[in-house]
Amino acid sequence: MKYILVTGGSRGIGRAICLKLAETGLPVIINYQSNTAAAEEVKGLIEAAGGQAELLPFDVAKQEQVEAALDAWEARHPEDYISVLVNNAGIRRDNVMFMMSDEEWHQVVDTSLNGFFYLTRRVLKHMMPRRRGGRIVNVTSLSGLKGMPGQTNYSAAKAALIGATKALAQEVAARSVTVNAVAPGFIETDMTKELPVEELKKLVPMQRFGRPEEVAAAVAFLASDEASYITGEVISINGGLYT
Ligand code: NAP
């Protein structure tokens, strides 16, 4: 049986992606770091709608945790494989570069970029054999496309994720695995709740922040059979903020 794995699925954009992808009827594996109550809530909503879900907590930035979690999942699911992977987990640790600590730099890069590497390398083993195919969708950011002041760490990690998306797409295309990215602008989640929303909204041609569901819709399309000939692409979801 095929499964969907979404990292950072307990809150925000990842939560919306879990709920949307569960509509496919495939079971959803909800990864998160520590917020079990929020992840349980997402699982409950999926089940209430007639879908299937399970929790798989691990820190994407810690290779040993990624390997241990996937080992345990595979042992419980000898006949199953992950056919859709959404690399969504990410954090912000904003600071101007001359004040930025080693920790702020490494935490952000470790989560968005190294997390993508550890998990995707591992999950490709599910997709590559016998040309089973698969879908990988990476959640990058407007910051990775245009660069944002105060976010050299985050912009670097998200820009690197775009480069990796394009390179990996070409590596695995012959195996019917597609690799794409979405690049949200300002989306209403915990990550943006402390920003000066009223001021920032004025910068957006649509005059509002996006909703997590608006990102999830694009991810669901890229994860679908309909998107079978799209790979190495980055879709901006930003209300016209940067085109
Ligand atoms: P959020 O509301 O802060 O949620 C973050 C999610 O990631 C939570 O589920 C959290 O789990 C999980 N997470 C964080 N670090 C993790 C780790 N090391 N291992 C596993 N899970 C981890 O963030 P969001 O706004 O939904 O952002 C989701 C993605 O979209 C991120 O990659 C972010 O960079 C990107 N993005 C967001 C925006 C925006 O405006 N919000 C714009 C562009 C891109 P816990 O609940 O356990 O803490």
Residue 242 in any domain: the answer is no
Q: Does the beta carbon of 107 lie inside 6 Å of ligand 1?
A: no
Tell me the CA distances in angstroms from 13 to 44, 226, 230, one per residue in order: 17, 22, 22
For residue 130, pLDDT beyond 90: no
Residue 181 in any domain: the answer is yes
pTM for this predicted structure = 0.99
Query: What whole-number distance in Å separates Cα of residue 205 and Cα of residue 99?
Result: 32
Domain count, the chain: 1
Residue 197 in any domain: the answer is yes
Residue 222 in any domain: the answer is yes
CA of 88 to the centre of ligand 1 (A): 6
**Minimum-distance ligand 1 atom for the alpha carbon of 215:** 30
Question: What would the two tokens of residue 84 be?
Answer: 């859709």
- For residue 229, give the CATH number of its domain: 3.40.50.720
Residue pair 194/216 in contact by the 8 Å Cβ criterion: no
Q: What proportion of the chain, given as a percentage, has pLDDT over 70?
A: 100
Residue 225 in any domain: the answer is yes
**DSSP SS3 for 146:** helix
Query: What whole-number distance in Å separates Cα of residue 4 and Cα of residue 25?
Result: 10
Query: Could you report the per-residue pLDDT of 67-105, keeping only the tens digit for each?
Result: 999 999 999 999 999 999 999 999 999 999 999 999 999
Which domain does 199 fall in, by range?
A: 2-237
Query: Position 135: which residue type?
Result: R
Residue 211 in any domain: the answer is yes
For residue 131, pLDDT beyond 80: no
